[in-house]
Amino acid sequence: MALFIVVGVIAVAGALLMVLQRHPVYCALYLVVTMGCIGVFYVMLDSPLLAAVQVAVYAGAVMVLFLFVIMYLQLDREASIGHGQALQRSLSIALPLALAVIMGAVAYFQRIAPAKGPMSAEALARVGHAQLLGRFLFTDYLLPFEITSLVLLAAMIGAVVVARRG
**Consecutive 10-residue runs of the chain (166 residues): their mean pLDDT?**
88 91 83 89 83 81 75 60 68 78 72 57 64 76 82 77 68
> What pLDDT shows up at residue 73?
72
> What pLDDT shows up at residue 12?
93
> What pLDDT shows up at residue 122?
67
Q: Are 25 and 93 found together in one domain?
A: yes
Q: Are 89 and 125 found together in one domain?
A: no
Torsion of CA 60, 94, 15, 156, to 10 degrees: -20
R_g of the chain computed on alpha carbons = 19
> What pLDDT shows up at residue 115?
53
Distance of CA 84 to the CA centre of its chain: 25
Q: Are 162 and 95 found together in one domain?
A: no
> What pLDDT shows up at residue 111?
67
Q: Are 129 and 162 found together in one domain?
A: yes
Q: What is the CATH number of the domain that holds 65?
A: 1.20.120.1200
Q: How far apart are CA 10 and CA 15, in angstroms?
A: 9
Q: Are 98 and 53 found together in one domain?
A: yes
Q: How far apart are CA 99 and CA 49, in angstroms?
A: 19
Which range of residues forms the domain containing residue 107? 1-75+82-113
Task: Please tell me the total count of domains within the chain.
Answer: 2
DSSP calls for 111-141: HHS---STTSHHHHHHH-HHHHHHHIIIIIT
Q: Are 95 and 146 found together in one domain?
A: no
Q: Are 14 and 60 found together in one domain?
A: yes
Q: Are 51 and 97 found together in one domain?
A: yes
Q: Are 10 and 87 found together in one domain?
A: yes
